[in-house]
Amino acid sequence: MALLIEVNQVSYSYPVPGGPPHPALREISFQISEGEHIAIVGANGSGKTTLARHLNALFVPDSGTIRIMGLDTKERANHMKIHQRVGMVFQSPQEQMIATSIEEDVAFGPENLGLSTQEIQQRVRHSLEQVGMWDQRTRSPSHLSAGQMQRVALAGILAMQPACVIFDESTAMLDPFGREDVLRNIETLKQSGITVIMITHFMEEASLADRIIGLHQGRLRFDGFPEDLFTDDKLVKSMNLDKPRVLWFAQQLTPWIPTITSPLTVDQFKKQIEPRPAPQLFAPLEDHHFFRNTQENLVIGNHISFTYLQNTPLAYQALEDISFSVREGSVHGLIGATGSGKSTLLQHLNGLYIPQTGELKVGPFEVNHETDLLQLRRYTGMVFQNPNYQLFEQYVGDEIAYGLKVLGITGSELRERVKLAMSQVGLDFEEFKDRMTFALSGGEKRKVALASTLVLDPSLMLLDEPTAGLDPIARREILGQMVRVHNEGKTLVVSSHQLEDLALLTDHVTLLSKGKVVSNQDTDKLLSDHTQLNQYQMIAPIAAQMASVLHEKGWMVPENIIIGQQLVAAFQTLGEPNV
Distance CA(193)–CA(82), nearest Å, equals 17
The CA–CA distances, whole Å, from 80 to 5, 12, 77 equal 16, 22, 7
Q: Return mean pLDDT, the chain.
A: 91
Q: What fold does the segment set 3-242 form as a domain?
A: Rossmann fold (3.40.50)
Between 407 and 273, whose confidence is greater?
A: 273
Q: Give yes or no for a contact between 2 and 33, defined as CB atoms under 8 angstroms apart.
A: yes
418/412 Cα distance (integer angstroms): 10
Residue 293 above 60 pLDDT?
A: no
Q: Where are the domains of the chain?
A: 3-242, 244-291+507-579, 297-506
210-234 burial, b at 16+ Cβ within 10 Å, e below that, comes to ebbbbbbebbbbbbeebeebbeeee
Residue 579 predicted with pLDDT over 60: no
For residues 418-445, give the mean pLDDT.
89
- % of residues, the chain, pLDDT over 70: 98
Q: Give 157's Cβ-side CA count (13 Å radius).
A: 30
Residue range 313-336: mean pLDDT, rounded: 94
Paired sense of beta strands 86-89 and 37-42, if any: unpaired
At 401, is the pLDDT very low, low, confident or very high (cuts 50, 70, 90)? very high
pLDDT, residue 289, reads 56
Specify whether domain 297-506 bears CATH 3.40.50.300. yes
Q: Mean pLDDT across the stretch 371-392? A: 90
Query: What sign does the dihedral 94-98-100-105 (CA atoms) show?
Result: negative
Confidence class for position 310, pLDDT limits 50, 70, 90: very high
Q: Which of 62-76, 88-102, 440-454 has the highest mean pLDDT?
A: 62-76
Residues 6+ apart with CB under 8 A from 339: 144, 145, 147, 148, 514
Residues 346-367: what's their mean pLDDT? 97
- Read off the pLDDT band of 130 (50, 70, 90): confident
Question: pLDDT tens across 200-251, in order?
Answer: 989 999 999 999 999 999 999 999 999 999 999 999 999 999 999 999 999 9
Distance CA 259, CA 577 (A): 13
Identical fold, 3-242 and 297-506: yes
pLDDT in tens, 40-80: 999 988 999 999 999 999 999 999 999 999 999 999 999 99
Q: pLDDT digit string (tens) for 512-559?
A: 999 999 999 999 999 999 999 999 989 999 999 999 999 999 999 988
| Percentage helix, strand, coil for the chain under 3-state DSSP, each rounded to 5 | 40, 25, 35
Closest CA to 357 of 301, 440, 284, 290: 301
- Using only the alpha carbons of the chain, give its radius of gyration: 24
- What whole-number distance in Å separates Cα of residue 176 and Cα of residue 154? 16
Question: Is the pLDDT reported for residue 292 higher than 60?
Answer: no
